Amino acid sequence: MPGSIFGQSFKISTFGESHGGAVGVVIDGVTPGLPITVEEVQAELDRRKPGQSDITTPRQETDEVHFMSGVFEGKATGTPILMIIYNKDARPSAYNDIKDLFRPGHADFTFDAKFGIRDYRGSGRASGRETAGRVAAGAVAKKMLQKHDINITAYVKAAGGIECKTINFDEIENNIVRAADPEAAKKIVERILEVKEQKNSIGGVVECRVTGVPAGWGDPVFDKLDADLAKGMMSLGAVKGFEVGSGFKCAEMTGIEHNDWMNEDGFETNNAGGILGGISNGNEIVFRLAVKPTSSIEAPQDTVNKDGKAVKCITEGRHDPIICPRIVPVVEAMTAIVLADHMKRQAALHA
């Protein structure tokens, strides 16, 4: 059944495989009159695109976005916007030797089990390249959220066992790993180059912080704001966990420690992570996600082929030794998409 449409009042419908004709998105429900330029969307896509540094895949894609509908004289008309990114550096033939085997950590086996057919070229629809459409839609969502002066910032909190000691937003784009602490960033880069050398990869933790969300967004009991954020984040490939505010630490806390007391200036603490009872409380929204190590590694691995026979798998090709830096703009995009939807939902509730 269809799984490539997301949202209720603001809907995105993404499409595209890694080595097909194009990837992209149809965005439905954009506020009419919203000024939106190709450059604004391109700027977000550039943060996600491959080939940015030594720790990202060398695949060469300019990821140039084209608007095909829904924007007229620089403004959204309120009708669906098709944003399309043609695949340029597709090398389908490079995948011939993996088409009949199941690469460990990849969705090869499960796509076959589900669909009975699979576009094996560069993981097809299961490729991280799918997220380009999300990032394009997220750029539009971010613009829509400006009426509330909402700021969304994601960054690498930890990777390869090295954690940021400080959180400095200004440092994030100053290092290739997008860590919020320059000291940690340095160590993480070293660690990444080390595992890359070993034909290996590493995982990490990405944190996202959002300011400016007014109290009142989120729809209990199922469409709670944190439930929808969790779904949005867990729908990203490679994400194995999601937590908001205190997160898993809450399991070791007592009620007295965990409850955020209020005084005349607002909340004294933020264990809630800005979401209480599934509804934004006006505080900074803070959540984290666990990102697994890149599945594609050049080290030889055991697996089986379509006939169930044991084979060796060596994933040559062009891969990122760590997913975290490039997932950062995707996390921001999905956050914006969820928030834009709930902004509209809250307006509908009171209409």
The residues in 91-130 that bind a copy of itself, with binding defined as CB under 8 A, are 102, 104-107, 109-111, 113-119, 124-126, 130
E strand or H helix that includes residue 145 = helix 131-145
Residue 193 lies near a copy of itself (rule: CB under 8 A): no
Residue 315: φ, ψ to 5°: -85, 85
For a copy of itself, which is the closer residue by CB, 170 or 312?
A: 312
Give me the least distance between CB of 316 and a copy of itself, in Å please: 14
The DSSP result for 89-131, as a single string, is S--GGGGGGGTTB--TTSSHHHHHHHHS----GGGGGGSGGGH
Amino acid at 75: K
State the residue for tokens 């994601």.
154
For a copy of itself, which is the closer residue by CB, 153 or 301?
A: 301
Gap between the Cα atoms of 123 and 150, Å rounded:
35
Of 51, 182, 212, 282, the residue at the interface with a copy of itself (CB under 8 A) is 282
Q: Which among 108, 49, 170, 83 is positioned nearest to 311, based on CA atoms? A: 108
Give me the least distance between CB of 103 and a copy of itself, in Å please: 8
- The residues in 206-245 that bind a copy of itself, with binding defined as CB under 8 A, are 214-224, 226-235, 237, 240-245
Residue 344 lies near a copy of itself (rule: CB under 8 A): yes
For a copy of itself, which is the closer residue by CB, 170 or 249?
A: 249
**Measured on CA atoms in the order 183, 187, 188, 190, is the torsion positive or negative?**
positive
Give me the least distance between CB of 4 and a copy of itself, in Å please: 5
Give me the least distance between CB of 215 and a copy of itself, in Å please: 4
Give me the least distance between CB of 276 and a copy of itself, in Å please: 5
Region of 50-58, 171-179, 182-190, 302-310 interacting with a copy of itself (CB under 8 A): 302-310
State the residue for tokens 């290996």.
200
Gap between the Cα atoms of 177 and 120, Å rounded:
29
- The residues in 4-43 that bind a copy of itself, with binding defined as CB under 8 A, are 4-11, 13-17, 20-24, 26, 28-29, 31-33
What's the Cα-to-Cα distance from 30 to each of 24, 65, 90, 343, rounded to whole Å? 16, 18, 31, 12
Site mask, a copy of itself, residues 137-176, x = CB under 8 A?
Answer: ---------------------xxxx---------------
Of 247, 270, 284, 314, the residue at the interface with a copy of itself (CB under 8 A) is 247
The token duo for 109 is 């086996």
Amino acid at 99: K
Gap between the Cα atoms of 129 and 121, Å rounded:
12
Give me the least distance between CB of 246 and a copy of itself, in Å please: 6
For a copy of itself, which is the closer residue by CB, 16 or 50?
A: 16
